[in-house]
Structure 1
């Protein structure tokens, strides 16, 4: 099982089936916060839905296609606070697409920036990739701020990139190149 300690209070781990109830609770508690940006939230109606997502992500991980990690904070107990993932790993082009989300109460502490830095290093060192790409809705200022704190370069904007719950979003596409960030 993949586990990566970022620091004494923050870690990443591969999702596993036992996390389904906790993942569902986190999504359910943050439904209003996540729904404007993430279309899958509306389709997460039960712990079984989270379990199926975990099952598919483990299958894709075994095939080398994705790496979906839980982001955990270690305080009184270990708690799942969000996800950070390589939504696609593309060895042929030397690129991975990075995605992330965080429960609302954990925002503003730099936790996601730390997690994305760890994932970027994993992309460059473990997977030997050349580029990490992040796509964020142009109106999602918090997600875009993570990209900027990472030192990612804005490569362009894709208009009408995604429809989330009937709202069409443009996407800002950012890139982190190995030669610059390694």
Structure 2
């Protein structure tokens, strides 16, 4: 996947949460020069870099070059986040609570995904009406995401799969890449 990317970005997390097998495969790809302009982003920015910074340069999410790269093909791109909203604060609390684990933690991430889809994706892509059968036996309008079948949902990290699944529960006609 990284070899196919025009600008591969390796997202590097805290050392204790990293895959132990990725370093070898990544080093091989770097030595074979199969990656075009690879870089690493540290999340959080206090995480230690993966491999050598000269082989795999570090770029920050707020670096102008990275932002230019991301936006260059998407002139209408803008960043939105829910971090400061009270609903988001309530939904993210269980994911940070050490007492919340297993099925309850998965459920908490799914709730966040459903919220993000309903609140933000609906605003970004818009909704369209379509005919549905009303419970009283006549036709009425229902609503769904515009071009929902063209949307691809990708879980970016291991913990992101339950959240992506929550988005998928709302965007039923979208595709989900595992």
Higher strand fraction: Structure 1 or Structure 2?
1
TM bucket, shorter chain: 0.3 to 0.5
TM-score normalised to structure 2 length: 0.35
TM-score normalised to structure 1 length: 0.34
* Higher relative contact order, chain-length normalized (CA < 8 Å, sep 6+): 1
